[in-house]
Amino acid sequence: MVPFHYLLYLASFLFCTGLVIVIIKRNAIMVLLGIELMLNASNLNLVAFNQGHPEELHGHIFALFVIIVAVCEAAVGLAIVVRVYRYFHSSVPDEIAELKG
Amino acid sequence: MNLTEIFFYFFILLAAISAGAIVFSGDVFKSALLLLTCLLSIAALYVLSFAEFIAVTQILIYAGGILVIIIFGIMLTTKISGQALTVQNTNIFSGGIAGIGLLTLLVRYLPDIPPAESKGLQPQDISVIGLKIFSLYSLPFEIAGLLLLVALVGAAVITSHLKSKV
């Protein structure tokens, strides 16, 4: 039996690290990287809480769907980053302050 | 302390250290490699919690798919000039306050959660996941497939017809 609470502590640490990365980094790709870290922390929580009802497997299947949505988010997010970089020649989110296409 | 627990604590430490190093790393490519280390150690933690299917999915999709896409993005948005792309930090004070505050709050209330009743965690038969996906969760599965299709077409449409402002 692996310790249950340590997984939750690790998940909260990873979530806060992802939040700090999203806030402080001046690069759009680093922001996406931080979001991936936060989604992984939530997945870790889902798998840890699945230990309460190990035969039901609800947590595992929910983690699977979270991974699918994370893939969609990464694909569309990076497409937007590449498009914005080609248009503005910059990947710094603070410098892009114009909505007109 | 048996071998499983030693591996468990080792991978927890590895994941935490590599995630923390991303904050202090100024190089985007190195940060992507650190994220790869973090994701692989989380996959190892899934294996140790008897979530083998999630672990394999994590390695295939995160380490094999998303990391490759992110590295593609890095290569497409940096001018190839030889030197590494450095990232400046901004909002350090507010970011640190938000992160440390949330971490303190979570760590303060985490011990109140009752631990999972030890029913003797057993290795699961992986066919149960397949049966559940195609019976109880068949509608979310179809919707997820549709979402993937829409995201792929949307990403392809967004990156086509590129025109430059300057």
What average pLDDT score do residues A81-101 get? 79
Cα B116 to Cα A40, B19, B56: the distances in Å are 21, 26, 24
Distance CA B116, CA A51 (A): 6
Question: What pLDDT shows up at residue B115?
Answer: 72
Q: What is the mean pLDDT of each run of 10 residues along chain B (166 residues)?
A: 88 94 89 94 91 91 89 78 69 90 91 69 76 91 94 90 61
Question: What pLDDT shows up at residue A9?
Answer: 92
Question: What pLDDT shows up at residue A11?
Answer: 94
What ipTM, to 2 d.p.?
0.89
What sections of A25-57 are H helices per DSSP? 28-49
CB contact under 8 A, A54 and B147: no
Residue A42 tokens read as 């939530």
**Chain B contact for A95, CB < 8 A?**
no
What average pLDDT score do residues A88-100 get? 77
Distance CA B148, CA A71 (A): 8
Q: Contacts of residue A68 in chain B, CB cutoff 8 Å?
A: 144, 147-148
Identify which of A3-7, A12-16, B26-30, B66-70 has the greatest average pLDDT.
A12-16
Residue A26: pLDDT band (50, 70, 90) is confident
Residue A20: pLDDT band (50, 70, 90) is very high
Question: What pLDDT shows up at residue B82?
Answer: 55
Q: Which of residues 11-70 of A touch B (CB under 8 A)?
A: 12-21, 23-30, 32-34, 36-37, 40, 43-44, 47-52, 54-55, 57, 60-61, 63-65, 67-70
Please compute Rg for chain B using Cα positions.
21
Residues 6 or more apart from B149 whose CB is under 8 A from it? Answer: none
Distance CA B103, CA A75 (A): 29
Question: What pLDDT shows up at residue B79?
Answer: 66
Q: Could you tell me which residue, A70 or A85, shows the higher pLDDT?
A: A70
Cα A79 to Cα A19, B47, B69, B152: the distances in Å are 22, 32, 10, 10
Q: What is the DSSP string of A50-91?
A: GGGSTTT-HHHHHHHHHHHHHHHHHHHHHHHHHHHHHHHS--
- Quick one: which H or E segment has residue B148? helix B138-159
Question: What pLDDT shows up at residue B160?
Answer: 83
Residue B65 tokens read as 């798919």
**Chain A contact for B146, CB < 8 A?**
no
Question: What pLDDT shows up at residue A36?
Answer: 93
Residue B136 tokens read as 């109880």
Prediction pTM value: 0.89
Report the amino acid identity of residue A2: V
φ, ψ of residue A8 to 5 degrees: the values are -70, -40
Distance CA A71, CA B64 (A): 11
